[in-house]
Amino acid sequence: MIISSPVYYRNVSAQLLSLLDRHYAVRVEKPIEGKV
C-alpha cells in the first residue's frame, strides 16, 4: 500500500494521520515502533 499526502515533508493531513493511528492501534506487531 502506498499512502501519499500533498503537503510538505514530515507534515501529514489530519485525515491521513487518523487513518494511520487507527491502523497502528489494531496491529499486534508494531513494525515501525522506534523507527519514526
pLDDT digits 0-9 by tens, 1-36: 777 766 665 677 788 888 877 877 666 666 666 766
Instruction: Note the pLDDT of residue 27.
Output: 63
Q: Determine the Cα–Cα distance for residues 14 and 16; give it in Å rounded to an integer.
A: 6
Residue 26, classed as helix, strand or coil, is helix
Q: Determine the Cα–Cα distance for residues 26 and 35; give it in Å rounded to an integer.
A: 19
Structural domain including 24 reads 1-36
Whether the full predicted model's pTM is greater than 0.75, yes or no, is no
Number of domains comprising the chain: 1
